[in-house]
Structure formats: C-alpha cells, structure tokens
Amino acid sequence: MLKKISLALFILSMVVSCGPQKQSENNPVQIGDKGKGETIEIAVIPKSFSHQFWLTVKAGADKAGEELGVKIIWQGTAKETEVEQQINIVQDMINRKVKAIVLAASDANALVGIVENAVNKGIPVVTIDSGVNSDKPVSFVATDNILGAKIAADTLAKLIGEEGEVGLIPFVAGAATSEMREKGFKEGISAYPNIKLVSVLYSDSNVAKAMDVTNDMLTAFPNLKGIFAANESSAVGCAQAIKSKGKAGQVKVVAFDAAEEEIQALKEGVIQALIVQNPFKMGYLGVKTAYDAIKGKPLEKRIDTGVTVVTLENINDPEIQKVLYPTH
C-alpha cells in the first residue's frame, strides 16, 4: 500500500513540475526568446561618466529598468570628446546582441554609421540628449535645445538691461546638443539690437579649459556684461573664473544644467540663472521607449523633456526642488 501511495505522489509531482507555467506578470521580460527565457538587456550609453548630469540620467534609466524588469548595461567613456571610444562601445553592444540601445551621441555625424549598423541588425536605437544625423533611431528623447538656449538668451538679456557685450561658451564642436544651444542662443540674442555677441569659445566639456576661455573673454573684452555657459563643465569653469576675478554679480552668468557646483554658484550670486533640463526623465523615458520598441508598440519620434529656469527667487519652491533633486 505504501509503495502505491509513493508511486502516485511521484507521478503527481512530475505532472506539476513539467506542466505549463504562466509567466509572472511582475516579470514581463522573461520573453522565452526561442524558448530560452532570456532576460532583455538594454544598453544605455552616455557621452561620458564625468558629469553629474549623466549620473542622473543613469538613475532614471535604472529606475525604468527596475520597473520593467530589464537589465541595464551602463557603459560610457571618460570624456565627451572620446568619439572613437564611444563608437567602439556601441559595436561591443551590437556584438553582445543587446535587445536595444539608448545612446547620447558624442558626435552627430561620426555615430551615424554605427547606429545604422545596429538598426540594420535588428537592434532599435533610441537617442537621448544628443542625436545623430539619421532617421534610423526610433525616437529622440531630449530637451528642445534650441528653445532652451533662446530662453537662456532672453534671461541673460533681461539681466543686463538688454544692452552690452556678451560671450558664449559652447562645449564640443560637432556634438548636436552643443551646436543646437549655440544656434538657439545666437538666434535669441540677435533679437536684441543693443546686445553684441563678441566672443564664442569652446570648453571641450572640460572645467579647466572653460575657466581659461572665460579668463580670455574677460581679458579681451573688459566691458563684458554677460556670459552664457552651455553645459555643466562650461558653467563650473566659467563660475570659477568669474569668482577668482572678483567679478561675481558684475558679469552676469546664465548656465545650462544643475550640478551641485552650479547650484552653489547660484546661491553665492556668481551664476544668476540656470536653464535646467530633466536628465532623470531622459534616462527613464529613454529606457521605456526602447522597451516599447522591442515590444513593437507605437512610438513618438520626438519626446521633449522640457526645461525650467531656476533663479535665487524660485530655488526653494517645492516644484523647483523636484527638478533639481529628482532622485531625492
């Protein structure tokens, strides 16, 4: 009798273990690719690891990855100018056969070939922050950089009484984001007939170089009334130069981004306004959009993540604090 009961229990256990299993609703990405049950890997490739901006992008990407149950492969270069290295990273991700790539391109032209290669191999590419000159990416998730720079121009114009000489510090020549901000600022400032743009010098996304070019501007144009620093490193270097020259408040500074050093410079009166993007949202929506592409869902070709103007007057507003500290 015991033998019969044991045999019956053994057969029952085999039926249960071998029967069909429903996929967990909380783990939607165990997709059973060719019956293997592989986990989706999405590569997220920033321009670099060197700025707080990109760490906030990572936080957003990780959050989306956690919600979707996908594995985020975060890989980038040390500097935003290392274009060849970024191309190699994209190639590595293609070789790894990731399911999608989320990319902030260091160069709008140089990355075209490798992006198109990825898409041709069936790997959808979503660009964030800085795109490429190709229609192959399935979506572009970013700030409207031209509009944001025009807002910067209007903000700086008001700070200097709509007259005087101003300077511009873009970051990397050839990077789509830098070029769009340069274009937007020039267009915006040209609406003010009594303001003259007298100097445009690149920082190469390097704080030390940004400090040097700011000093060059201040030396060459002693009557300079304002500067637009177009990204985090440009802003930090510019603020350091302004402060060391004892010109805080005399030369008005409007800057893109909101690294802690920029926020501190705003509080100290060295920077007068920050044009703040939403890097957390870029990373988050970049991964979400890539996941939708993998699943064959309809996509928006362009997703604008918006900008906010932050000044001493509004910095303590709860909504502004959410923009400045999205991970808190």
> pLDDT tens-digit profile of 239-272?
999 999 999 999 999 999 999 999 999 999 999 9
Q: What is the pLDDT of residue 15?
A: 37
- pLDDT of the residue at 108: 94
* pLDDT at 277 > cutoff 60: yes
For residue 294, give both structure tokens: 């993998």
Tokens of 277: 């993007």
pTM of the complete model: 0.81
| All structural domains of the chain | 39-143+279-304 (3.40.50.2300), 145-276 (3.40.50.2300)
Q: Which residue has the tokens 């130069």?
A: 241
Instruction: Provide the mean pLDDT of the chain.
Output: 90
Neighbours of 4 (CB within 10 A): 8
pLDDT of residue 212: 98
| Per-residue confidence (pLDDT) for residue 51, from 0 to 100 | 84
Closest CA to 133 of 202, 179, 76: 179
Q: Tokens 């509080």 label which residue?
A: 267
- CA distance linking residue 262 with residue 265, whole number of Å: 5
pLDDT digits (tens, 9 = 90+) for 112-145: 999 999 999 999 999 999 999 999 999 999 999 9
Residue 23's pLDDT is what?
Answer: 33
